[in-house]
Amino acid sequence: MIDHRTLRVALLGAGSVGSQVARLLLEHADELEERAGARLELAGIAVRNIDAQRDVDLPRELLTTDASELIVGSDIVIELMGGIEPAKSYILEALNSGADVVTGNKALLATHGAEIFDAADQVGASVSYEAAVAGAIPIVRPLKDSLAGDRVKRIFGIVNGSTNYILDRMDRDGLPADEAAQIASDLGFLEADPTLDVEGYDAAQKAAIIASLAFHTRVSIDDVHREGITGVTAEMIESASRAGYVIKLLAVCERLDATGDGHEESISVRVYPALISREHPLASVHGGNNAVFVEAEAAGSLMFYGAGAGGIETASAVMGDVVSAARRHIAGGVGVGESPRGQLPVAPIGRIITSYQIRLEVSDEPGVLEAIASILTEGGVSAAAVEQTAIPSDGQAARAQLVIGTHRAREEALAATVERLAASDVVIRVASVLRVEGE
């Protein structure tokens, strides 16, 4: 059903993703016309600086600094500028002028998603954002459409490539954290502001978007419990490895059942470095790759794997959204919009239930193990495995490292127990506490 209409496409931003999107629109125009059912005419590219250096040579006559003028009369507006403003204003302008919007702006959606989706619903336009979550990996569409008749229980995944690269080099090549981070930076893996990656902000933005989709609930970045990887040391990786685990920065979005003691059904959205079994498919996600593991009631376990970033890879996700938006334009009718929203509350981190690996430095003397075991038992935390290693004493009092793998426990109970451990006479220090996921 080819309709020989021409759709006017406006592109905002010509960075590493935007310039590739422009190239695909120009070079693959015939193939795209067949796929979309209409000619996709790149009407112009709004940039801040027309003379800036770009990855791809773009026709100069398409470049403009006036985004608003470009938006008027466009059928599809692709926003790849990033940042909150002016991106947000342009998207609202586009929606109000009747255009469908395609964006890869995770920071914007994780903070102002509700406002943008409401604006789209009001005018019956669509906002697509496959590129905002895990680069080229289709995850938004599977959650929105393929699993629309199922019930998602849990999603956890590696959604930030640069931190995965760092942890992977530490794990596989034994590099110290700073050296691995330096290599990641040299390779261009890290954002200009590396704290976005290493402190988990980027992953937290994606987690907010994924949780919103999966649980039909509005989740913003402020709802996400976030811990980065800067505290992860070679010792933690080694202790994890000896117990059969690897450390990954995970984004976890989980449905928590209502409990007998008055807690209603809720969701937990969190980002932290966690232990995952070496047997788990996520453990073999190496380098800068991303993967998202979905557990649904009917579908069981699904995994989506691929390149989580990169200009050309992310451009593929943008183009999929553009073709879909074009088809919708031609088919007519109103946009489906975001699914109506459930109103599940977001639970505090203390409510989650998982298992843990606790590393303690203790006095190496008789009775220590008993003292610690009794603190655990009092706290309602039960040990599944304990490994004790003597620490070279350098003439000081004898010390040992104790690595305790726990059974599943509620985080608030675990945290209280760790406090009591820290206060105990036999414990010199609590070296680290990490959660275990995927079991």
Residue positions annotated with a catalytic role: 206
Residue 273's contacts (CB-CB under 8 Å, 6 or more residues apart) are 167, 227, 228, 229, 231, 232, 247, 248, 249, 250, 434
Under 8 Å between Cβ of 265 and 255: yes
Q: Which residues pair with 274 in a beta bridge?
A: 248, 435
Query: CA angle, corner 74, sides to 70 and 75, nearest 5?
Result: 155
316 binds its own copies (CB under 8 A): yes
Alpha-carbon gap, residue 52 to 417, rounded angstroms: 56
Smallest gap, in angstroms, from Cβ of residue 385 to its own copies? 25
**Rounded to a whole number, what is the distance in angstroms from the first to the last CA of the chain?**
48
Q: Which of 4, 30, 60, 149 binds its own copies (CB under 8 A)?
A: 149
Identify the residue among 15, 26, 35, 431 touching its own copies (CB under 8 A): 35
15 makes contact with its own copies (CB under 8 A): no
1 binds its own copies (CB under 8 A): yes
> Is residue 371 near its own copies by the rule CB under 8 A?
no
Residue with Cβ nearer its own copies (158 or 409):
158
As measured in angstroms, the least distance from the Cβ of 396 to its own copies is 46
Please check whether residue 108 is in contact with residue 116, taking contact to mean a CB–CB distance below 8 angstroms: yes
**What residues numbered 218-277 form the site for its own copies, per CB under 8 A?**
none
> For residues 335 and 328, is the Cβ–Cβ distance under 8 A?
yes
Tell whether residue 24 is a contact of its own copies (CB under 8 A). yes
Q: Which of 327, 399, 408, 410 binds its own copies (CB under 8 A)?
A: 327
Binding characters for its own copies, 117-136, by CB under 8 A (x = yes): ----x--x-----x-----x
Stretch that binds its own copies, among 256-264, 332-340, 346-354, 416-424 (CB under 8 A): 332-340
332 binding its own copies? (CB under 8 A): yes
Under the criterion CB under 8 A, does residue 192 sit at the interface with its own copies?
A: no
Establish if 313 lies at the interface with its own copies (CB under 8 A): yes
Beta strands in 197-265 (DSSP E): 225-226, 245-256
Collapsing DSSP to helix, strand or coil, 338 comes out as coil
261 Cβ contact list (under 8 Å, min separation 6): none
Does position 307 interact with its own copies (CB under 8 A)? The reply is: yes
Closest CB to its own copies among 36 and 376? 36
**Smallest distance, Å, CB 131 to its own copies?**
10
Q: What's the count of helices (H) and strands (E) in the chain, helices before strands?
A: 15, 17
Give the count of alpha carbons within 13 A of 294, CB side only.
Answer: 25
CA distances from 14 to 297, 298, 406 (A): 41, 42, 50
Can you state the angle between helices 311-331 and 29-36, rounded to 10 degrees?
40
333 binds its own copies (CB under 8 A): yes
Q: Which C-beta is closer to its own copies: that of 151 or that of 429?
A: 151
- Is there binding between residue 366 and its own copies (CB under 8 A)? no
Stretch near its own copies under the rule CB under 8 A, chosen from 65-73, 240-248, 302-310, 349-357? 302-310
Residue 343 contacts its own copies per CB under 8 A: no
Residue 163 structure tokens: 């931190």
Q: In angstroms, give the least distance from the CB of 86 to its own copies.
A: 26
200/306 with CB nearer its own copies: 306
With CB under 8 A as the contact rule, the residue among 322, 360, 418, 434 that binds its own copies is: 322
Q: How many C-beta atoms lie closer than 10 Å to residue 264's C-beta?
A: 11
Q: Is 4 in the site for its own copies (CB under 8 A)?
A: no
CB-wise, 87 or 133, nearer to its own copies? 133
Among 60, 61, 178, 298, binds its own copies (CB under 8 A): 298
Taking the least distance from each CB to its own copies, the nearer of 322 and 352 is 322
CA distances from 132 to 206, 289, 323 (A): 7, 15, 17
Token pair 């691995």 in the structure block, residue: 180
Compute φ and ψ for 164, nearest 5 degrees: -65, -40
User: Which residues form the interface with its own copies (CB under 8 A)?
Assistant: 1-2, 20, 24, 28, 31-32, 34-37, 121, 124, 130, 136-138, 141-142, 145-151, 216, 281, 284, 296-307, 310, 312-313, 315-324, 327-328, 331-337, 339-340, 342
